[in-house]
């Protein structure tokens, strides 16, 4: 906004000619009334910078009576820091060409009490006079500044929370990896019946703790708006197989039957987040088995084609305890369960369904629940997905494809494995798992040592921790890829990140650095060996 802080004039030195003396005719009664009633600051000045007339609102806004303003210049009231911009606006207004837009300016004026008010101006030249109007925008500017500050603070808080979550994920999963990994390795050794029972109890407790940690971190990421949904091709059968197998095992342990039904079109390759789809189905099946004492759990997977996108339906039913309509209203709330007695009878945090609803909605789908106390429950998830290829092409490719090699074929060979891991317990976990497979493991405690070992020897696969002293896993992986680029005679070596940094951005960073796969800690023999099989077979 162009300021009407006027250029220096003789009036600024104490000469205060009145309106008649400066050649301004006395204002009419209408103009005087207009100046009297205006809430905005009105001002007329000459080209020498002297004020001819101001409105009474100057006294209300800045504390100066009109007779204290008229006949003098206004630059004396402008904040010193705003004088350069004010001088520029004065020149622009006075040299404005006919038809040019009205110019504006914002600056600060000193109140009679010594404080400053922020004014927003509009000015126009007519003949030998400058006509201007200003409005007090002190509060608005302060609010805008507060919003900018609040936004910066919120962004800083969000980053701090993200850093905290990443750190907590790493710090909690690292010792969990030792507990779960070693117990898993121990369970594969010769044990007495009593020892087997104790190991199973430790393993189950570790798995429960891992699930709890993952749920809490997921909730925190969702609340922070940092939960990303991926979109990549996946095979529906392969995506759902693992959680169906887990549910089958858990159901059998409780003496329950698990029925799995598939629609005619429930197969193929789709684009979406298979990890989160599997997580939702796993939560629903886990609840169904947990809350069912007698009877069965059934799941139906169906894919339907409508006028819009292809829809995936996951329908889970059980013959469990059920819930009534009142409890159904808060079923998907965080830290809430259908009945307070549920916590005492079955345990749990009440996070699973809340997370499932958030995931389903982020993927553009819906989740519903219906139940009757004592008569079981039914949960239905509907998700929009797009097929990568037609069913006919998928079936033809599956029928004509070569049989998939199994992990056993790979494990029969003596793999040379380079392990970069700084935590002694986690080193031992990997050594115990791979020792049962006859692998030769070279262990390094930081990325720099791993890089030196890689340059000196040839390995079948590299297992790389992400956070290590001296040189971290991402830097070491990039250096390994650089070594391969300088030595084209060397075959590309698969690199697997074994990291407690399990968030989506960590997986993306690993992939960008050159890693082939990211296996989140805590690891088990199955997750580690399947990961090695995947990259060695694909390689």
**Structure-block tokens of residue 197:** 């029972």
Contact 90, 7 (CB under 8 A): yes
CATH of segment(s) 10-136: 3.30.450.20
List of long-range contacts for 431-439, beta carbons under 8 Å, 24+ apart? 432/181, 432/182, 432/185, 433/181, 433/184, 433/185, 433/523, 433/525, 433/528, 433/529, 434/528, 436/185, 436/188, 436/525, 437/411, 437/529, 438/411, 438/414, 439/414, 439/415
Coil, helix or strand for 384?
strand
- pTM value is 0.55
Res. 262: pLDDT tops 50: yes
74-88, 296-310, 397-411, range with greatest mean pLDDT: 74-88
Q: Which of 279, 261, 456, 452 is nearest to 362 (CA)?
A: 279
Percent of the chain with pLDDT over 90: 34
Lowest mean pLDDT among 130-144, 260-274, 456-470, 523-537: 523-537
Coil, helix or strand for 532?
helix
Res. 171: pLDDT tops 80: no
What is the Cα–Cα distance from 497 to 501, expressed in whole angstroms?
Answer: 10
The angle that helices 504-513 and 473-486 make with each other, rounded to 10 degrees, is: 20
Query: For residue 336, what pLDDT band results from cuts at 50, 70 and 90?
Result: low
Q: 232-400, what's its fold?
A: Heat Shock Protein 90 (3.30.565)
Residue 334's pLDDT is what? 58
Res. 463: pLDDT tops 70: yes
| Residues β-bridged to residue 230 | none
C-alpha dist (Å) from residue 293 to 256, 352, 379, 384: 8, 20, 18, 33
Residue 457's pLDDT is what? 93
Res. 22: pLDDT tops 50: no
What is the Cα–Cα distance from 535 to 415, expressed in whole angstroms?
Answer: 13
Number of Cβ within a 10 Å radius of residue 73:
22
Residue 539's pLDDT is what? 52
Res. 538: pLDDT tops 70: no
Query: For residue 462, what pLDDT band results from cuts at 50, 70 and 90?
Result: very high
Number of Cβ within a 10 Å radius of residue 231:
11
List b or e across 381-401, with b for residues whose CB sees 16 or more CB atoms inside 10 angstroms.
bbbebebeeeeeebeeeeeee
User: What is the H or E stretch that residue 348 is in?
Assistant: none
Residue 15's pLDDT is what? 37
pLDDT in tens, 468-518: 999 999 999 999 999 999 988 888 999 999 887 666 677 888 999 999 998
Q: How many residues would you count in the chain?
A: 539
Q: What is the DSSP code string of 476-530?
A: HHHHHHHHHHH-TTSPPPPEEEEES--SHHHHHHHHHHT-SEEEESSP-HHHHHH
- Which residues contact residue 312 at a Cβ distance below 8 angstroms, ignoring those fewer than 6 apart? 236, 266, 270, 277, 301, 302, 303, 382, 383, 384, 385
**Structure-block tokens of residue 315:** 């329908």
Section 3-17 average pLDDT: 37
| Region at 510 (left for phi over 0; alpha for psi -120 to 50; beta for the rest) | alpha
**Structure-block tokens of residue 290:** 């947990």
Residue 299's pLDDT is what? 94
**Structure-block tokens of residue 186:** 């121990």
Res. 40: pLDDT tops 70: yes
Contact 328, 371 (CB under 8 A): yes
Average pLDDT, the chain: 82
**Structure-block tokens of residue 304:** 């339907």
What is the Cα–Cα distance from 387 to 80, expressed in whole angstroms?
Answer: 66
Percent of the chain with pLDDT over 70: 84
* CA trace torsion 353, 359, 364, 370 (10° rounding): -10
Residue 343's pLDDT is what? 45
User: What is the H or E stretch that residue 252 is in?
Assistant: helix 236-253
Residue 354's pLDDT is what? 85
Residue 316's pLDDT is what? 95
Domains of the chain, residue spans: 10-136, 155-223, 232-400, 407-538
Per CATH, the architecture of 407-538 is what? 3-Layer(aba) Sandwich (3.40)
First and final CA of the chain: distance in angstroms?
A: 66
Q: What is the DSSP code string of 387-445?
A: ESS-HHHHHHHHHHSPPPPPHHHHHTS--EEEEE---HHHHHHHHHHHHTTT-EEEEES
Contact 419, 447 (CB under 8 A): no
Contact 123, 130 (CB under 8 A): yes
List b or e across 241-269, with b for residues whose CB sees 16 or more CB atoms inside 10 angstroms.
eebbeebbebbeeeebebeeeeeeebbbb
What is the Cα–Cα distance from 75 to 138, expressed in whole angstroms?
Answer: 19
13-17, 69-73, 103-107, 198-202, range with greatest mean pLDDT: 69-73
Residue 21's pLDDT is what? 33
Query: For residue 355, what pLDDT band results from cuts at 50, 70 and 90?
Result: confident
121-135, 452-466, 525-539, range with greatest mean pLDDT: 452-466
Q: In the sheet that 416-420 helps form, which strands lie side by side, from edge to edge?
A: 440-444, 416-420, 461-464, 495-499, 517-520
| Cβ-based burial of 299 (10 A; exposed 0-12, middle 13-18, buried ≥19) | buried
User: Rg of the chain's alpha carbons, rounded to an integer?
Assistant: 37
C-alpha dist (Å) from residue 408 to 283, 437, 529, 537: 30, 10, 10, 11
**Structure-block tokens of residue 160:** 């701090």
Residue 200's pLDDT is what? 82
What is the Cα–Cα distance from 101 to 329, expressed in whole angstroms?
Answer: 59
Coil, helix or strand for 93?
helix
Residue 281's pLDDT is what? 93
């Amino acid at each position: 906004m162009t300021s009407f802080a006027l250029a220096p004039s003789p009036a600024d030195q104490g000469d205060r000619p009145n309106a008649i003396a400066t050649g301004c005719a006395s204002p009419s009664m209408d103009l005087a009334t207009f100046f009297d009633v205006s809430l905005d600051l009105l001002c007329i000045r000459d080209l020498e910078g002297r004020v001819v007339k101001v409105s009474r609102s100057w006294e209300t806004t800045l504390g100066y009576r009109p007779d204290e303003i008229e006949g003098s210049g206004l630059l004396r009231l402008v904040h010193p820091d705003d004088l350069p911009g004010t001088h520029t606006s004065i020149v622009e207004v006075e040299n404005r060409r006919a038809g040019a837009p009205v110019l504006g300016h914002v600056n600060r004026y000193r109140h009679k009490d010594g404080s400053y008010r922020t004014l927003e101006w509009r000015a126009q030249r007519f003949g030998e006079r400058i006509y201007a109007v200003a409005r007090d925008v002190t509060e608005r500017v302060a609010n805008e500044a507060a919003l900018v500050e609040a936004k910066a603070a919120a962004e800083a808080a969000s980053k701090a929370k993200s850093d905290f979550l990443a750190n907590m994920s790493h710090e909690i999963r690292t010792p969990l990896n030792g507990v779960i990994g070693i117990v898993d390795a121990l369970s594969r050794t010769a044990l007495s019946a009593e020892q087997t029972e104790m190991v199973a109890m430790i393993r189950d407790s570790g798995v429960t703790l891992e699930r709890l940690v993952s749920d809490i971190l997921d909730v925190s990421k969702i609340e922070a708006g940092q939960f990303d949904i991926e979109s990549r091709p996946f095979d529906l059968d392969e995506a759902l197989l693992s959680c169906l197998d887990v549910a089958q095992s858990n159901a059998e342990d409780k003496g329950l039957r698990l029925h799995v039904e598939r629609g005619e079109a429930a197969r193929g390759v789709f684009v979406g987040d298979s990890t989160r789809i599997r997580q939702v189905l796993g939560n629903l099946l886990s609840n169904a088995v947990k809350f069912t004492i007698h009877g069965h759990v059934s799941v139906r997977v169906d894919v339907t084609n409508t006028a819009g996108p292809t829809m995936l339906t996951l329908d889970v039913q059980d013959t469990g305890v059920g819930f009534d309509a009142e409890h159904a209203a808060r079923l998907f709330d965080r830290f809430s369960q259908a009945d307070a007695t549920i916590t005492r009878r079955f345990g749990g945090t009440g996070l699973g369904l809340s997370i499932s609803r958030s995931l389903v909605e982020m993927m553009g789908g819906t989740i519903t629940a219906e139940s009757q106390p004592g008569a079981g429950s039914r949960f239905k998830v509907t998700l929009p997905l797009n097929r990568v290829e037609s069913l006919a092409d998928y079936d033809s490719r599956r029928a004509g494809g070569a049989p998939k090699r199994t992990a056993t074929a790979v494990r029969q060979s003596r793999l040379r494995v380079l392990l970069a891991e700084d935590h002694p317990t986690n080193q031992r976990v990997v050594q115990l798992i791979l020792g049962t497979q006859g692998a030769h493991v070279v262990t390094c405690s930081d990325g720099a040592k791993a890089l030196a070992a890689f340059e000196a020897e040839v390995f079948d696969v590299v297992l790389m921790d992400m956070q290590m002293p001296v040189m971290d896993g991402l830097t070491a992986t990039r250096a390994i890829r650089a070594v391969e680029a300088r030595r084209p005679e060397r075959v590309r070596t698969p690199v697997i990140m074994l990291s407690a940094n399990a968030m989506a951005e960590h997986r993306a960073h690993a992939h960008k650095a050159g890693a082939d796969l990211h296996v989140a800690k805590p690891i088990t023999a199955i997750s580690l060996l399947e990961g090695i099989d995947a990259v060695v077979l694909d390689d």
